[in-house]
Chains A and B, each alone.
Chain A
């Protein structure tokens, strides 16, 4: 199959590129646009390092084909950083040391933001459940849960205690 021209909104900018049918979205974005924030961790949809946001939904860049991005709105950490959308979450990750080697961090931030967006009431257990598709080998997760919880408080989201 030949490559096809696709057009989409990448981090707020209208872009156009040749998409090869065999290339998944993560390699496409990393190679064609030199984005580095989505990381390649497992290439079989388990680790969550390649998480990107497509039309407002977080997805695994290794489980989506590049051509499927045609006509969509794609956000990565580069774009969210520039727009300031997750500045509080990033700040909390740094302050709480919710990042060690950093390889999972883009996925954790996008997943954390996905969890907090539109939430009215959360619990630590619910944070953990929402993060359960994102692998982190360094932190043991607690600092990440703490960071997300602290941002929830600052955003005025009610934090409830789960039953022990």
Chain B
């Protein structure tokens, strides 16, 4: 279902044969052979297992914890409470200096004296087998004094609500306002003003491999090895070292195969930290694997917004003013170390910024609740910012009597308007909104779909079409975390070395969780040096081996880690040519490297293979005179020109609403995406498709449902619905390529755009389908019940 290669892609493939090529992932072989190694597959000598007794109450004092019976149960080696571990683990306080006025309470790894959410770990039970630890867990007696909980966004916004952390004064974690100052006058002078309220549900990541970790403390080496299912190994090294009172060099973090992450595994979790602390105390390896039920009540949740949005237009459809008010409910703590406010912060930064306008005001109120912990999940903030903005553009189109495509063509930033700074202060380098919109209209044959829609409506079949434009923050610089004091690397380092046989090893600080990161690093290195792809082996996910890096989040691995790879490999190539000049007694500038051979740049004559250079450099350096070969190069890359490298794209959804049952059937999606230079077309396409389906989830199915007391009511896979194969449509993916000039490679991120844009596309398609009934919906997820209520049939 892939769209044919564009001229630009063809040209890129011809010019740089490996960059952009849809090479299959070599590391997928072990995944299909059943040979992947996730944390639960790591088996170490004398391994112990830990399980956690978790709070059954959303808010309570812990009057008494009796672990005596559990400690005596078969197989139990040790039992720890929060107080027992308080001297080993420092509390986590997640605030960042650039979020001015942000408040957060210190969070203990295991609860001490009180619990703040249902699912908070209280007691750790260590045993020789998981099931024996689970048996013992049932013997722990906890005397709770239940307190009233703040169990929803509305409850938290109520000034009479109990204050979760009295020392903070109230339940407001963070507020922010951006105001260009001319908003009120712009609205009073606008011809048409539209206003709606949107609801984006609380949901979670549901990684198929639960969070998992092994802490393996060696008393002999005085080192902690952490095997962890995670996206940011160096961040874990830094955080664990500081929180556990170890030196950085005493902590080694190894991330092997990761069974789904999506941002869920970019955080520090108390139970994982406690597992490592217990390994230090017991001087034995200890494993923790979150089971499905505890994943739902301890993995971070995300979204949970109510957004009011207002837009003012001239009579001709020109957007003039935008106002957004965002209210969102986090958990009781700010999640360490990235905080729980980035989501809302992104929304006020980016909402509507891809449309020209003269006045912008956005406010955001981020409140604590006694629901599960909350932080960054794939496409942080974007589904909300894009969902509300694009929903409003269609509302405005209906109010103005304009076609949804026309109102976008009129207001989208023009492709020649870059670089520019937006009313919210975002700096955009280069985008292709107009071209993407034009391309998607053509790819989907919109006029034919509209004809079909009209015909089918007469037969009682109600289809809808939604087309949206969007942006996505990728390749973040130090502006994302570093400036606020978080020790999360914005740069990636890469070492590229040639081995004696001429094979290449790449070590990179950014890693792989299935996106294909290692494959694109191999493509980039092979292209830069002039060797065959199969000659390159990539190693990631080990802080003892790779240069320092940020890891894989915020769509940064290909753009930043890829650029570091390119720079290191290019340098190695120069070093190889210098060596070849000595070995062949020819000028370096007359030489080139292709297909693992040193060739004559002019005639392409093969002169000597790289394996011969390797042999001489490593085993006969005595023949090189004073020349010293350097066949191992490290380079670093970090975005500098812009705080973020924004991508853009357009997404279209075609769906059908069964007005009798309220069910929505997704018929097809189209995507036109601009992630700059495409490093591997198939991998980009599959990132787009996978992300799109993750965006479909919370738009139609997924929601963490809490009762009024703060209990999660659907924390299992039966009741928490996710997209499954049968309901999902095919998705046609196409590309426009506007490389970033911030790097030589020109690659922008591609991992989150689908998640960012799918909700808006569905929202608009649904309201388009419902248009004949003069009703509309803005409250996700769009369940059959809500559809029937909107139709007045329930």
A interface residues, Cβ below 8 angstroms from B: 22-23, 27, 30, 34-37, 39-44, 46-47, 49, 76-78, 81, 90, 93-97, 99-106, 109, 124, 127-129, 131-146, 164
Contact A97 B683 (CB under 8 A): yes
Contact A106 B34 (CB under 8 A): yes
In the A-B complex, the 3 residue pairs with the closest CB atoms: A37-B34, A102-B31, A103-B259
- Cβ contacts under 8 Å, A140 to chain B: 686, 689-694, 723, 728, 731, 754
Is B38 an interface residue when CB atoms closer than 8 A count as contact? yes
- Cβ contacts under 8 Å, B727 to chain A: 132
Kindly provide the distance from the CB of A104 to the nearest chain B CB, expressed in whole angstroms: 6
From DSSP, what is the main secondary structure of chain A's interface residues? loop
Give the distance in Å from the alpha carbon of A132 to the alpha carbon of B208 in the complex. 15
From DSSP, what is the main secondary structure of chain B's interface residues? loop
- Cβ contacts under 8 Å, A146 to chain B: 1
Kindly provide the distance from the CB of A122 to the nearest chain B CB, expressed in whole angstroms: 14
- Cβ contacts under 8 Å, B683 to chain A: 97
Give the distance in Å from the alpha carbon of A147 to the alpha carbon of B686 in the complex. 13
Kindly provide the distance from the CB of A94 to the nearest chain B CB, expressed in whole angstroms: 5
Chain B positions 33 through 60: 1 when the CB is less than 8 Å from some CB of chain A, otherwise 0:
1111110110100000000000000000
Residue in A39, A43, A142 whose beta carbon sits within 8 Å of that of B730 in the complex: A142
Contact A102 B690 (CB under 8 A): no
Residue in B36, B206, B292, B724 whose beta carbon sits within 8 Å of that of A102 in the complex: B36
| A102 in contact with B29 given A43-B291, A81-B34, A132-B724 (CB within 8 Å) | no
- List 17 A-B pairs, Cβ < 8 Å: A37-B34, A39-B209, A77-B34, A93-B28, A94-B32, A97-B683, A103-B260, A109-B32, A137-B208, A137-B262, A137-B694, A139-B689, A140-B693, A142-B1, A142-B731, A146-B1, A164-B667
Give the distance in Å from the alpha carbon of A47 to the alpha carbon of B515 in the complex. 21
Within 8 A of A (CB), among B291-307: 291-292
Give the distance in Å from the alpha carbon of A44 to the alpha carbon of B714 in the complex. 14
- Cβ contacts under 8 Å, B259 to chain A: 39, 101-103
Chain B positions 702 through 746: 1 when the CB is less than 8 Å from some CB of chain A, otherwise 0:
000000000000001110001111111011000000000000000
**14 further A-B pairs in the complex, CB-CB below 8 A; given A90-B33, A102-B31:** A27-B131, A37-B35, A41-B209, A41-B292, A102-B30, A129-B725, A131-B724, A131-B725, A132-B726, A135-B724, A137-B694, A139-B686, A139-B690, A140-B690
Specify the chain A residue showing the minimal Cβ separation from B257: A102
Contact B726 A95 (CB under 8 A): no
Interface range, B side = 35 or more
Contact B37 A36 (CB under 8 A): yes
- Cβ contacts under 8 Å, B692 to chain A: 140
Give the distance in Å from the alpha carbon of A144 to the alpha carbon of B723 in the complex. 14
- Cβ contacts under 8 Å, A133 to chain B: 724
Kindly provide the distance from the CB of A110 to the nearest chain B CB, expressed in whole angstroms: 10
- Cβ contacts under 8 Å, B682 to chain A: 96-97
Is B439 an interface residue when CB atoms closer than 8 A count as contact? no
Is B207 an interface residue when CB atoms closer than 8 A count as contact? yes
- Cβ contacts under 8 Å, A132 to chain B: 724-727
Is B68 an interface residue when CB atoms closer than 8 A count as contact? no
Kindly provide the distance from the CB of B47 to the nearest chain A CB, expressed in whole angstroms: 12
Within 8 A of A (CB), among B259-300: 259-262, 289, 291-292
